[in-house]
Structure 1
């Protein structure tokens, strides 16, 4: 009983503390003109710009001063209606669109998809398939018919009456499964009997990829639906991913299915070539002399880099079996002929971090990206009490005719359809709203079935409206998004106004910054300087000539004339006034007129000679010598004067009690 009482007391305390923290967050810290700033708003900005874990009272006060100035400028921008200009609204909406994207998908699903893709990148799989076409928007009865046919084929294979390869040739609608005779200039081509070779993630449509990666080797899947139709899939191999590979090959042509060819001669020739390699002859010499691939022969048989889905499966299998760079395979047979393959290089799959941008880019273009969106739609529907009226949709479909397919449905008649199709939150969407959406698309219908077309558009319209609803309520639902948008809004507002009132104004106001310079010229003083020359030697041999000329008190000009008469003994010459800290060689030299220091490299060969001409007394800089600094300081003065004017225009009131509490305790969310 005592324990129960303690737990209840603890829960009450936690609840009370949370309530007090929420109240503190909502308290007004300050007002600038008519605009108030809450503790939470200030604290979020402060913490974002102050990464120290401990609360520094001084830093809070200093930052508050900066923040007050910031709010003063924002107030002025709003008073000038800068927040209503088309240019401002366009820029802000562009930023909002980008910032809202993570809130309109289920990021957890997206992260799972990234990890799934990276996991699949580690393996290359080889599969065969049988395809029966089925329209993506097929009616249930047509879908059932194709599915039943696919199950018949599967049962025929399972019973042993026919092999998978034989079934692919007999039944598959994928024409590549069957042999193709020569036609015109195109040679005959042997069918692949359903074998698609090796591939990796993103090479196939997502449902096909899922089935292929999940299937055990040498086991046939159940019918798998993709946008092309139904597939039976047989995984025949799985190997560690080759990433990207490069090989060279010696090729002897012997096309499968070419009755005019003499394959036994091609095989005999490739075996003779392999024997020569075994006896020590160079692979590259044999490529040039004997390969039928004349395109690669000039480059030693080298082929471009390839991935698992860019080369015949026999090559991929061979690459996976190589142990070291430079290794040469025994002869291997493809549908094109005979090959001897030399392993030239491999680029393995990188770390998750290194390939993540590539994965993200693929996901954006892939149907699987819709999973994150659909998860978010389901979440919003649940949160906002989404409900549908199936009867209203059925009624609309019955009343429509084929004119809806060509976007010629009578609008007057359309306006009579007012029954509510679905609601979300406190918003209703009716039959006419859907018809307007369909008519506005103008795209050609992909089906002639009115019911299928309308239902498909209803699903898209409903999903779009759910996402749009969430988008329009992001600021109300997510405090961090509201604060972020406020930051962007205020930042954009301020930039143009600051440029007009301070930055560009100072640059263009030549009389203003000249007057500022005249009044503050003592600030712009040269420190210690020296008039010196640095001779950078192109080679160490020129040093003896240079040293002799310096010892004979020749001027720099005389030295350069003497040395440059011999173009092989040129030096790089840098003569100017140097300040302390500007050049390491000058800093390392004793600043005394006539002194010449020699600097050597690690091999004790001279690299530089520094010649000191004279020390220069500290002096005030000319305006041309410090224009950038003067303009910067003048901008600061203009800003300070502007701030004082704004403080008179928009009175600043800070709640000292709230500030004191904030400095002492911070703010716990």
Structure 2
């Protein structure tokens, strides 16, 4: 984690705590006539109260000084133009976009979709379908033609005709040649949302109503419903099916049977998979496949065998699929997770799924009710005449005078949106492949999309005005980013690179940084008295630490531990009562442990060198630089505190 991430992470966690504050506002102080209010001071003080360790910072007089110092630094950052730095601008924009996502989400609808998705995940449905293809942007005439065709097929299905035969004859799904419309088992989030909804709302054995997806019109028949089997991880050994021209058609079958016999004789599955499996994507991993759910593999037969195994390491008998002969070993079963375990995952899936259109539609509806908006119909008529049939071929270009259409086309509250922006929007929409005709209908449809986009943009632009909590967090994050860049520029880098200043500061404060008496020593410890006695005897015979451990730690039993180093007086690593004199101590017992200390050298107390206390010295030097800098800022900017207001806020915070 970088210093900036840590700094802003702490800053942001503090900011979140301020949500929902709504104190009355009075001007507490000004900096060059710019006002700062009591509600912000009160909010920040309250949320930081439990975070500060220095009790003096909880004193309101002291805290006011800190708060003014903080705002002085922010003013200095603006004065230096740090807010114009492209890196800062992009970082702030990225953060705002991330934070704003929470305000575009309809919590109620999202929760309903999460619950719906989770409930559907409890079951797996086997369904067959019939598809009549039609592009999602097709003309009304083409859509109607496709619907009529599906309507005729649906009537026959409702009348009881064989669904598989109808699918084989009429379905335009390319896979129908192989599956006769049977899609196998699937659960939620496996099919496009309208298809999934039709499957989960149609009773078993019944045929659905006609419904549309982006592929065209469908009907489906629910063949079976079962409990969700969850996911499974298996390993397999595969021998490919023989080719029609192979002389020995039983070669693959015989080979898989021989491998199975070797498994039964006790040979390792993984080793046999590496040696013999012809699935090169998994053989090197001992045959292990990625975990899968029903309907994710191309072979239902393989899935059924995999899910039929019940205990880890259970191995199937050889079986054949359309790909080859297999032996499967169960690695792990993964049952459906609980709602709480899946909630975050489901919310993420919904954001990427067609379900998200419900959330967008809900927001659009709210914004249409929330804001006053009006279209200039005269301007719209003029713009419509500029759009030609070239649009349908994605060849339409804005006319040369498009830039002249600066008159407002749309007004949202007091915001004027010029006609040129609509032309830009129309040009980009050619990629969507809309086929709505005539042009008048097309431009009305495009205007509706344009309106929704502009309402959403207006809402986004005004989040700070509409949500005080959003405004608070953004202001604090904005200031936090600036403050980081300013501190790095003015204090942190200077403290690291100003060697003369740091040396001078060290000379002034070195007496505050002293070593206590120290020992260069080795401490031996053991829970066994007889072993520590043996260690003492060996020490007296001039054996070193490693030789003692080699002698006494035998048969994988650790009887003696040693710790060699330089220890300061009072160190927890030294046994209590350790004498500061060269030599070998007596055996000392503390709790369950016995200790001996061998002292090689006694180092008297002394002042730490700059290198020995550099980290602390740099930190203290930074604080001195910062304090002197704040004093200079107070001279550079005019600060006026409203003392009467401050006394009132003190009584509110500390009644």
**The TM-score by the shorter chain falls in which range?**
0.7 to 0.9
Shift of 1:48: 2.7
Shift of 1:365: 3.0
Distance 2:478 2:276 in 1: 71
Shift of 1:523: 0.3
Alignment-derived partner of residue 5 in structure 1 = none
Shift of 1:318: 5.2
SS of equivalent to 1:69: helix
Q: Are 1:124 and 2:124 an aligned pair? A: yes
Which aligned pairs between 1:177-326 and structure 2 lie closer than 5 A? 177-178=176-177, 191-247=178-234, 304-311=290-297, 312-317=299-304, 323-325=310-312
Q: Are 1:512 and 2:501 an aligned pair? A: yes
SS of equivalent to 1:203: coil
Alignment-derived partner of residue 363 in structure 1 = 350
Q: Are 1:641 and 2:628 an aligned pair? A: yes
When residues 213 and 259 of structure 1 are mapped into structure 2, their CA distance, relative to the original with a 3 A threshold, is farther
Alignment-derived partner of residue 17 in structure 2 = none
Moved more, 553-562 or 391-400: 553-562
Distance 1:197 1:261 in 2: 35
Alignment-derived partner of residue 455 in structure 2 = 466
Alignment-derived partner of residue 483 in structure 2 = 494
Distance 2:542 2:259 in 1: 77
Aligned length: 621
Q: Are 1:521 and 2:472 an aligned pair? A: no
Q: CA-to-partner distance for each residue in 1:298-328, whole Å, 9 max, x for gaps?
A: 9997655322222333444555555544556
Alignment-derived partner of residue 14 in structure 1 = none
Distance 2:316 2:610 in 1: 76
Alignment-derived partner of residue 414 in structure 2 = 426
Q: CA-to-partner distance for each residue in 1:423-476, whole Å, 9 max, x for gaps?
A: 422234465432222335674846495637645543443222111111111121
Q: Normalised by the size of structure 1, how large is the TM-score?
A: 0.76
Moved more, 205-214 or 386-395: 386-395
Distance 1:553 1:340 in 2: 65
Distance 2:390 2:135 in 1: 22
Give yes or no for contact 1:381–1:424 (8 Å, CA) kept in 2.
Answer: no
Distance 1:500 1:468 in 2: 36
Shift of 1:477: 1.2
When residues 147 and 541 of structure 1 are mapped into structure 2, their CA distance, relative to the original with a 3 A threshold, is farther
Which aligned pairs between 1:627-638 and structure 2 lie closer than 5 A? 627-638=614-625
Q: Are 1:29 and 2:28 an aligned pair? A: yes
Shift of 1:174: 0.8
Shift of 1:658: 2.9
When residues 266 and 460 of structure 1 are mapped into structure 2, their CA distance, relative to the original with a 3 A threshold, is same
When residues 459 and 612 of structure 1 are mapped into structure 2, their CA distance, relative to the original with a 3 A threshold, is farther
Alignment-derived partner of residue 437 in structure 1 = 425
Shift of 1:644: 1.7
Give yes or no for contact 1:82–1:493 (8 Å, CA) kept in 2.
Answer: yes
Distance 1:289 1:576 in 2: 53
When residues 528 and 464 of structure 1 are mapped into structure 2, their CA distance, relative to the original with a 3 A threshold, is farther
Q: CA-to-partner distance for each residue in 1:234-280, whole Å, 9 max, x for gaps?
A: 2223333333213466889889xx99999999999999999999999
Give yes or no for contact 2:315–2:330 (8 Å, CA) kept in 1.
Answer: yes
SS of equivalent to 1:36: strand
Distance 1:594 1:336 in 2: 78
SS of equivalent to 2:514: coil
Shift of 1:38: 1.3
Distance 2:317 2:545 in 1: 72
Moved more, 270-279 or 61-70: 270-279
Distance 2:588 2:205 in 1: 74
Distance 1:163 1:220 in 2: 11
Alignment-derived partner of residue 109 in structure 1 = 109
Shift of 1:226: 0.9
SS of equivalent to 1:99: helix
Moved more, 446-455 or 133-142: 446-455
When residues 659 and 352 of structure 1 are mapped into structure 2, their CA distance, relative to the original with a 3 A threshold, is farther
Question: 5+ unaligned residues in a row in structure 2: which ranges?
Answer: 1-19, 553-557
Give yes or no for contact 1:198–1:316 (8 Å, CA) kept in 2.
Answer: no
Give yes or no for contact 2:383–2:423 (8 Å, CA) kept in 1.
Answer: no
Give yes or no for contact 1:592–1:612 (8 Å, CA) kept in 2.
Answer: yes
Distance 1:72 1:281 in 2: 75
When residues 276 and 70 of structure 1 are mapped into structure 2, their CA distance, relative to the original with a 3 A threshold, is closer
SS of equivalent to 2:165: helix
Give yes or no for contact 2:525–2:532 (8 Å, CA) kept in 1.
Answer: no
Moved more, 125-134 or 303-312: 303-312
Shift of 1:478: 1.4
Give yes or no for contact 2:139–2:435 (8 Å, CA) kept in 1.
Answer: no
Q: Are 1:620 and 2:607 an aligned pair? A: yes
Shift of 1:203: 2.1
Q: CA RMSD in A?
A: 5.1
When residues 326 and 436 of structure 1 are mapped into structure 2, their CA distance, relative to the original with a 3 A threshold, is closer
Give yes or no for contact 2:137–2:436 (8 Å, CA) kept in 1.
Answer: no
Shift of 1:152: 2.0
